[in-house]
Amino acid sequence: MRRLQSFPVDSTNSMACWRRVAPSWRVAWNFAVIQFSRYLPFLRLKNFLLRLVGIRVAPSASVGLMAMFDVLRPDLISIGENTIIGYNATILCHEFLPHEYRLGKVEIGSWVLIGANATILPGVRIGDGALVGAGAVVTQDVPPGAVVGGVPARPLRRAGGEGG
């Protein structure tokens, strides 16, 4: 299940209305800080910068190089203790559709692994201890301890190591 708020638009496509999501100055700030942090190999400094744009990131979380966070509403993202976000993963809190845009929190639990090049869509909750495979597109909640992969992400194994 995805927890999303929908905002209809009438006059044009929803992406043209991005200023309704966040003010221009805030998006510019978020973009600059997030883009700079993508290239930093220093985990503590990267976490500090991500907190400056409103991401709730635990001090023990590790964010890989090139990870990309939502620049419109990064304040809707939370990352738990000892979680690893892999290389070039993308975490989104907004989506633009032709006649509406949607916003949703992304909650990533503790001891989670998000594989390289994975994409997490808005309104998704990833439970503690879950593993998201490289290249997966997560379109719905991932239960604690689950192993998911693919496009869209599907269970590969049940919690506790049983085959799926």
pLDDT per position as a tens digit, 90-144: 999 999 999 999 999 999 999 999 999 999 999 999 999 999 999 999 999 999 9
Provide the number of structural domains found in the chain.
1
User: Domain for residue 131, yes or no?
Assistant: yes
Is 99 catalytic? The answer is no
For residue 136, tell me if it sits in a domain.
yes
Query: What residue numbers bound the domain in which 18 lies?
Result: 5-157
Structure confidence at residue 160 as a pLDDT band (50, 70, 90):
low
The reply to whether 27 falls in a domain is: yes
Question: Is 163 a domain residue?
Answer: no
Nearest 5°: the CA angle 56, 35, 121 is: 55
Marked catalytic residue, from 94, 129, 133, 142: 94
CB-based contact 131:113 (threshold 8 Å) = yes
CATH number of 62's domain: 2.160.10.10
Instruction: Give helix then strand counts, H and E, for the chain.
Output: 2, 17
CB atoms within 10 A of CB 4: 19
The CA-based angle 21-127-31, given to 5 degrees, is 30
